[in-house]
Each structure stands twice: as structure tokens, then as C-alpha cells.
Structure 1
């Protein structure tokens, strides 16, 4: 599971859980923090982020390709960084070239709205594929069917791509994505809280703690 944010406070709190493999960001999340991309990446790694995904940007092949390498160069020694590349014609071409040059480049194909788009990303050797679950739903597309079909294609051909569900508005979408075949997900901090801090559970925990204190006084 990955945390989808660039907020340092959220990242530090979430990493304490021990369940997050890393952090995913995008230009919108980075801009929200009001810091230069390079400085923010350096800060996030200094906070103990084990793996960081950063979106490459560019409207042409050369722009996107050069920005991908710029991102790879920002990983401190001993740290891992992956590049997010949107899956369109330009993006697929850049992904294929990066993988031919170095199969160890970690790439997350993003902006996925359909199974056929995800299948092309898998064939281009993406390590991860990010179907946008909530955005697909709001456009009348069944994200869970798309995830299921993509997973079937990956498994039947023994491809290395993993499905990383993204774009969630509630915790049930996360559960449905995972049970439909997503290998993992990237979620914002508020969705993480929805999943772990259930009001009814917190009430029960408060009772246990209260009774525990009473027992100590006996």
C-alpha cells in the first residue's frame, strides 16, 4: 500500500503504521505544498520515505523523456525513486525507451481509465498501473471490471506489472479495488483514517481502556 500525498506531516504519521511501502505524488499534490519540486523530494526522503513516485511532465517525447531522467537523478544514495508517466501515445513511447535503456527503471503508468489502456501499459513494461477508480466511476466507467480484466490479462501472460488502484473518495472503493484484483493501492491520508479509525471501534477501545484503568485500581 502507498500513501498519495506530499504532505510531510501526513507522511510521518502514516509511516509509523508500518504498512506503507512508499509515497506517490503528482504535480497537483506538490504544488499544494507550495515548495519547489526538487526541495520537496529531498525533504520527503529525509523523513524516511522508503520509496517515492514522482510524476514526469512534458507534452512532447523529448520533454517527458528528459524530465523522467531528471527525476531519477534526484534519488539520494541508497534511496529508491520511481517515475509516473501518463499512458498516452507519447507516454508509452517514453516508457518503452526507458525500459530498453535500463530495465531497473521503476515506472508507474498513470491516468488509466480503461482495461485496454492498462493492457497497453503492461505490454510497454510498466512496473505498476494506476487505474483512476473514482474518476472512472464519475464518467460512467466500471473501474472494478476494468481492474478484473487487466489482472486476468497480466496473470495469463505472466507479466510483471502490478495494478495500483488510485483516485479514491471513500474506503469502500479501496476494498472493491483490492478484491477486484488490484495488487495494491495508493490512498490519501484521510482515506487511511477512514479505514483504520472506525468510530464504533474507537468507542469500544475507549471502554477497554477505561475498564483497564479500573482494574489497575482494584
Structure 2
């Protein structure tokens, strides 16, 4: 899975667990950190993150490709992958970026439907990110859409993977994964909710208490 944040403290804590393959960001997430974009990107890379997704910015294919080149200039050890929003300009940008650098890893983002994801895959995206909670808020069943994406990709032997994103609760994360998403990118607070269960915490405290009592018996 991936961690959806640009907060250095959250990233430093989360990567210790071994659960996360990397970090995903977007302009909104980066803005929360009140730090210049490239400086924050370098700071995340300095934490030893294996892969960092950075969204390229622009309202035209030319602008998107130009920003890709700007981000690529800080692509330390090829650890940056590129997020491209999936509209008609994004499709063109994906094609041009792949022509310029076939090894560039591209995640088609802002996916709200199966057909949008299919076009992204056909354009050359290595992965696509359906926005689960936002799809639900707009009357789209995200789990059915993910099933359709996965079926299309698998039936045609496409290597494009599904990175589910945009979650409000942990049930949505599990629903996306069991519907066929290859992986998911989740915020730090939902990661903590997934692992820190009250009932489990009580059991762990009892185990530790009994462990201390056993140690006393051996003295």
C-alpha cells in the first residue's frame, strides 16, 4: 500500500512499519505543509521513501509536460513517479511523456468512472487511481467500477494496475481491495484506525501484564 500524505513526521513513522511501498502526494496535500513544493519533495525523498508520486500541474498538455520535466529534475535515483489527471489534456500528456521517457512511471489520477480508467490505461498509464469516496458522493458505485476496470485490464492482458484512493473510512479501503484494486493509497489517520483496535489493545495490555507477572516468577 501507499501512504497518502506529504507530512514528514507521518511518513517517518509509517515507513518504519514495512507496510508501505511508497508515498503519494497531490497539490492539496503538499499545500497543507506550507513549504515550497520542490523543497517538500526533496524532504520526503530524504526520508528514504522508495517511491514518491508527484502530480504534474497544468491546464494544457504543454503545461503538464513542462511540469513533468521540472519534477524530473529532482528525481533522485528514479524514485519519483508522476501523477497525471485524466482528462483529454492528461491523455495527450501521458502519450508525450512516454515518448520522451518510456521508463517514466505514470499514475492516471482523478478517476471517477470505469471508462475514464480504461482510457487512461490505453493511453499508457502504468496505474490508475479511482477516487472511492468522491465517486460515492457523486452517485457512482466505486466498487462496481473497480470490478469493471480490473476485468477489462485482466481480460486484455494490460499491465495497468489499480491504486484505489480517496477514502473516508476503513470499510471503503477494504471494499476497494476486495473489489479488485491491486493496492490503495491511504491517509495516516485511516492507517492508524486499521491497525489500532480498542479490543486488540485491551488484549495486548493483558498479555503484557501477564508477561510481567511471569518475569516476576522467574526471579
Normalised by the size of structure 2, how large is the TM-score?
0.97
CA distance 1:85–1:75, change in 2 (3 Å)? same
Aligned twin of 1:38: 38
Equivalent-residue separation in structure 1 for 2:94 and 2:156 (angstroms): 20
Structure 2: gaps spanning 5 or more residues: none
Equivalent-residue separation in structure 1 for 2:83 and 2:108 (angstroms): 6
Aligned residues: 217
Contact 1:50 1:79 in 2 (8 A): no
Deviation at 1:101, TM superposition (A): 2.3
Deviation at 1:56, TM superposition (A): 0.6
**DSSP 3-state at the match of 2:17:** coil
Structure 1: gaps spanning 5 or more residues: none
Aligned twin of 2:56: 56
Aligned twin of 1:97: 96
Aligned twin of 2:152: 153
- Indicate the RMSD between aligned Cα atoms, in angstroms: 0.8
Equivalent-residue separation in structure 2 for 1:176 and 1:6 (angstroms): 25
**DSSP 3-state at the match of 2:19:** coil
Deviations 1:150-193 (A, max 9, x none): 00000011111100000001111000000000000000000100
Equivalent-residue separation in structure 2 for 1:146 and 1:81 (angstroms): 28
**DSSP 3-state at the match of 2:167:** coil
Aligned twin of 2:85: 86
Equivalent-residue separation in structure 1 for 2:207 and 2:112 (angstroms): 45
Equivalent-residue separation in structure 1 for 2:163 and 2:91 (angstroms): 18
For 1:41-190, what aligned pairs fall within 5 Å after superposition? 41-76=41-76, 78-190=77-189
Normalised by the size of structure 1, how large is the TM-score?
0.98
Aligned twin of 1:200: 199
CA distance 1:213–1:79, change in 2 (3 Å)? farther
Equivalent-residue separation in structure 1 for 2:173 and 2:187 (angstroms): 11
Contact 1:132 1:166 in 2 (8 A): yes
Equivalent-residue separation in structure 1 for 2:9 and 2:82 (angstroms): 23
